[in-house]
Amino acid sequence: MRGWAFIFTFLSIGFTTRFKDLTSVGWRPFAAFTTGVLVNVPLGYFLSVVVMGGYWSMVK
């Protein structure tokens, strides 16, 4: 269940992203968004596995 929750979280971010709107105002907002995603994905995985690992192991 943890894996699916993680996948659907970032999948929904991708569904709500309007890349055309980001690039229409220049590359800086697009670069900022991309950097944010590249930071949030590993951070979210780390928090899910390491910080919440004890909780997820009890849920099974």
pLDDT at residue number 28:
85
Tell me the two tokens of residue 37: 């995603």
Residues 5-58: tens digit of each pLDDT: 777 777 777 666 677 776 788 888 778 888 988 898 888 888 878 887 787 778
Q: What is the model's pLDDT at position 49?
A: 82
Please report the pLDDT score of residue 13 as a whole number: 72
Number of domains in the chain: 1
27-56 as b/e, with b when 16 or more CB fall inside 10 Å? eeeeeeeeeeeeeeeeeeeeebeeeeeeee
Host domain of residue 50: 2-59
pLDDT of residue 14: 65
pLDDT at 60 over 70: no
With the CA atoms of 50, 41, 38 and 36 taken in that order, what torsion angle do they form, in degrees rounded to the nearest 10?
Answer: -100
Residue 26: its pLDDT value, please? 82
Structure tokens at 39: 């930071």
Question: Would you say 34 and 19 are in contact if contact means Cβ atoms under 8 Å apart?
Answer: no
